[in-house]
């Protein structure tokens, strides 16, 4: 058999091997998460596109984050069905691309907040629209290229059976377990990519928010300091949950916990963060609340006018 021959034409996604009652609980819980993810991020995208008051760098990056979260959640919807080899690799590629993009966008957004709070007079110069567009495009392009590297390395491996993936989607580590060849190179590249795309960005985010917190401490007004601390702590909680979960899953030593528990953790990671992002970054913001009220008032007035 040739080393680069792929004999498996399709994979079977096993999903969860838990009891039917737990299946029903998980189905209801994550259906709720999925619905709120689509609604929350969809509302944010609509408000930012319709309200000119939100056409600023911060909301420009928030709109990209909302797009990533919607695509991220849709790509990892739990399923248990046959999937072609090409379809499986496509799902792996998209998942990695969106995950990498979210990591980089969180860094860019933390830098944007750092400039806004620590250098407010130079904000419009430092965060010009040209800079914002370059940062956004760079985040997307780099993420897709890095994901492509992983997929190309998978294509060099033979898959001659078994063909059952013990996961609810084509997660890269679960796919590699089915390869009929040495996957050490893939494992090394994954670890190196995690250091570059997880540890590095997390350090940059922490540096930005450390500088922000130092600037907050110099605020004299107690109310202003409290609001700033509340906002930063919320952002840090989301960042910590996202990066912390990813680091545990891809960089920590192999856990002794059953694979089913790891899949549940992965599902929370895939759905909980995209659901939280619009709540923390946008819907708690007074400008977004104002835009939502204006949109609702405009809609109610138009309905009254049609009557």
Which is nearest to 45 in space by CA: 73, 72, 67?
A: 67
Name every residue whose Cβ is closer than 8 Å to that of residue 83 and which is 6 or more positions away in sequence: 10, 11, 12, 13, 91, 170
pLDDT digit string (tens) for 177-200?
A: 898 888 999 999 999 999 999 999
Which is nearest to 165 in space by CA: 265, 99, 259, 90?
A: 259
Mean pLDDT of 36-50: 89
Residue with tokens 């796919």: 175
* All structural domains of the chain with their residue ranges: 10-306
Mean pLDDT of 269-291: 77
Mean pLDDT of 299-304: 57
| Per-residue confidence (pLDDT) for residue 66, from 0 to 100 | 92
Average model confidence (pLDDT) across the chain: 83
The pLDDT > 90 percentage for the chain reads: 34
- Overall fold of domain 10-306: Rhopdopsin 7-helix transmembrane proteins (1.20.1070)
pLDDT at 223 over 50: yes
Mean pLDDT of 160-167: 81
| Per-residue confidence (pLDDT) for residue 60, from 0 to 100 | 93
| Per-residue confidence (pLDDT) for residue 3, from 0 to 100 | 46
Lowest mean pLDDT among 164-168, 180-184, 223-227, 292-296: 223-227
Q: Residue 254's pLDDT band (boundaries 50, 70, 90)?
A: low
Residue with tokens 């007004």: 221
Q: Please state, in angstroms and as integers, the Cα–Cα distance from residue 277 to each residue in 38, 68, 180, 221, following that order.
A: 11, 11, 39, 28
Instruction: Name the DSSP letter for residue 167.
Output: S
pLDDT at 148 over 70: yes
Lowest mean pLDDT among 127-136, 207-216, 220-229, 262-271: 220-229
Residue with tokens 């680091």: 247
Residue with tokens 């079977």: 12
Q: Is the pTM of this model over 0.85?
A: yes
Mean pLDDT of 24-36: 82
- At CB < 8 A and 24+ separation, what contacts does 210-219 make? 211/114, 211/118, 212/113, 212/114, 212/117, 212/118, 215/117, 215/118, 216/117
Lowest mean pLDDT among 71-75, 124-128, 148-152, 195-199: 71-75
Lowest mean pLDDT among 186-190, 200-204, 286-290: 286-290
| Per-residue confidence (pLDDT) for residue 257, from 0 to 100 | 52
Mean pLDDT of 239-252: 83
How far apart CA 295 and CA 291 sit, in angstroms, is 6
pLDDT at 284 over 70: no
CA 26 to chain centre: 21
């Amino acid at each position: 058999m040739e080393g680069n021959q792929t004999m498996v034409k399709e994979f079977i996604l096993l999903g969860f091997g838990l009891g039917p009652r737990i299946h029903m609980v998980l189905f209801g819980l994550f259906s709720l998460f999925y619905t709120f993810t689509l609604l929350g991020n969809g509302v944010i995208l609509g408000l930012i596109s319709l309200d000119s008051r939100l056409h600023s760098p911060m909301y420009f990056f928030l709109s990209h984050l909302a797009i990533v979260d919607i695509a991220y959640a849709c790509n990892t919807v739990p399923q248990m069905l046959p999937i072609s080899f090409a379809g499986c690799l496509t799902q792996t590629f998209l998942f990695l691309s969106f995950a990498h993009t979210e990591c980089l966008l969180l860094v860019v957004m933390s830098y944007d907040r750092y400039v806004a709070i620590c250098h407010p007079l130079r904000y419009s110069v430092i965060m010009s629209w040209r800079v914002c567009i370059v940062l956004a495009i760079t985040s997307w392009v780099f993420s897709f290229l890095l994901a492509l590297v992983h997929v190309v390395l998978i294509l060099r491996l033979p898959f001659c059976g078994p063909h059952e993936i013990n996961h609810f989607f084509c997660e890269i580590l679960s796919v590699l377990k089915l390869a009929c060849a040495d996957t050490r190179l893939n494992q090394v590249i994954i670890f190196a990519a995690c250091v570059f795309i997880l540890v590095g960005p997390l350090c940059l985010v922490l540096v930005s928010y450390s500088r922000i917190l130092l600037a907050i401490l110099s605020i004299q007004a107690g109310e202003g300091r409290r609001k700033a601390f509340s906002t930063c702590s919320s952002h840090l909680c989301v960042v910590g949950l996202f990066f912390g979960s990813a680091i545990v899953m891809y960089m920590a030593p192999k856990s002794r916990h059953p694979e089913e528990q790891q899949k549940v953790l992965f599902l929370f990671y895939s759905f909980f963060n995209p659901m939280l992002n619009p709540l923390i970054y946008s819907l708690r913001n007074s400008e977004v609340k104002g835009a939502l009220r204006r949109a609702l008032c405009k809609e109610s007035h138009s309905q009254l006018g049609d009557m």
